[in-house]
Structure 1
Amino acid sequence: MTPAELQQLSIAALEDLKGVDVLSIDVSDRTTVTDWMVVATGTSQRHVKSLANEVSEKAKAAGVRPLGVEGDGDADWVLVDLGDVIVHIMTRESRDFYSLEKLWSVTAAERENDDTTPTDDAAAN
């Protein structure tokens, strides 16, 4: 599975369970750790856990074994590492506090224009 296909699978899994403010960021030109970061908000800790589980299960069904899942004990921020795609699922409070979009220099205008397609480089300026 290509990184772009894995990114789309992750987005679809998040949208299937009504993840909020799903944002995809192409970080391939900024780090060697991963190609894509997908960020989503859950409406509660339980919702965050459910979203993370859905991403993991859809990846496994597609033949991709998650490299790790971190943070599911407290569930304010759960990270699902799929190798070429890292999925961050957070409560609204955690997402506002950590502001990953700012960390990766995604502006409000870019966020509004993000259609989460693999050809979209949300981090380009």
Structure 2
Amino acid sequence: MQLETLKQLVVDTLDDMKAKDIAVLDVRGKTAVTDYMIVASGTSDRHVKAIAETVAYRAKEAGQAALGTEGLNEGEWALVDLNGVVIHVMLPKVRDFYSLERLWGAPAPVAQSAAMA
């Protein structure tokens, strides 16, 4: 599955599941872990869990099984790794605390040239 198609499938699924404040972060050049991080909020621990499980299920139906999931038991923060797209679904208070958008939305560091060193 193409990366852009997968990203859109995730965003559509989050929207279908009534996730709040969906943010798509292009982190290419900032980390080798993934190309996109998608952050969204759920309204309760059950909602967070349901959103994450549905994203993983729909991706698998489309031919992209999750490499892993985390946090489904607790429900305050769930992560779904779709190899190129990583989804974080959190309760608003947890999202505010970790501020992933601010962390990953910052400009990529500029490498120092040898002349500046």
What is the TM-score with the length of structure 1 in the denominator?
Answer: 0.83
* 1:18-97 pair list within 5 angstroms: 18-97=18-97
In the comparison of the two structures, how many residue pairs are matched? 108
Q: Does 1:3 align with 2:3?
A: yes
Superimposed CA distance per residue, residues 89-124 of structure 1 (whole angstroms, 9 cap, x where no aligned partner): 000110011110111135xxxxxxxxxxxxxxxx68
Structure 1 portions without partners, runs of 5+:
107-122
Structure 2 portions without partners, runs of 5+:
109-117
CA RMSD, Structure 1 to Structure 2 (Å)? 1.3
Equivalent AA in structure 1 for residue 104 of structure 2: W
Deviation of 1:32 after TM superposition, in Å, equals: 1.2
Give the whole-Å Cα distance in 2 for the aligned partners of 1:50 and 1:43.
11
What is the TM-score with the length of structure 2 in the denominator?
Answer: 0.88
Structure 1 consecutive aligned stretches of length 4 or more whose deviation exceeds 4 Å: none
Superimposed CA distance per residue, residues 49-107 of structure 1 (whole angstroms, 9 cap, x where no aligned partner): 0100110111011011100000111111000000100000000110011110111135x
